[in-house]
Amino acid sequence: MKRLLLAPLLLAISGCSSDITVKTDLGEKYIVKNSAVTILPYTHKDLINKIKKDARDNKSRYRNCEFKFKGKKRRGDYLTICEREYGVYNGISAKENGDLVNIETMQKYGGQVFKEDKVYWYDIRFRPIFVDLNKNKISKNYELISCLRPRDYFSSVLGDKYFGIRNRQPKEMTGLAYESMKAKVCKKYAKFK
């Protein structure tokens, strides 16, 4: 007898979907299926490696510039054209030096402990399905959003500087169903420890 009572309950539970569904003001829907979501975490180590790679690339462009202009200066300027353009002074990239020194200073004197595997933000790629009023399903283009760790300097400032994530953040307060869907994707899949 107990088996008969559990069967409808199990069917009801298994029929529930963990997909994200957002309705528009007209009753249309956006659906994001779990199978259409790809999550890529960005850690402290990824950020440091990107800063160092950008500095190496910047130094390489600087060396190519110096080869081309051979240390020429503009009239009345004490920096060469290439030093001013690429921010490399005495072989040191100001970009790399500044950001890495800030991180080291925060660690030494600010009391912050940085773990290499600490996730600062997630890039989440998904493909929503639009269901119109006639129940026609239309698959939309792939969407890439960045879900940031709340109130975190590295994800908001350095993440935007080196990865350009500011434009990929969902806008939660717009009231648009499409943006609301993006915010729900962040809330569901971006799990910070």
Residue ranges in the chain modelled with pLDDT below 70: 1-17, 69-79, 81, 84-86, 89-97, 110-113
What DSSP assignment string belongs to 112-160?
----TT-EEEEEEEE--EEE-TT--EEE---EEEEEEPTT-HIIIIIHH
Domain ranges of the chain: 18-44+116-189, 46-108
pTM of the predicted structure, to 2 decimals: 0.72
What pLDDT is stored for residue 5 in this prediction? 47
What pLDDT is stored for residue 73 in this prediction? 62
What pLDDT is stored for residue 15 in this prediction? 46
What pLDDT is stored for residue 30 in this prediction? 94
Yes or no: say if 121 and 150 are a contact pair by the CB < 8 Å rule: no
CA dihedral for 32, 35, 38, 41, sign (positive or negative): positive
- CA gap 24, 175 in Å, rounded: 10
Q: Is 32 exposed, middle or buried (0-12, 13-18, 19+ CB in 10 A)?
A: buried
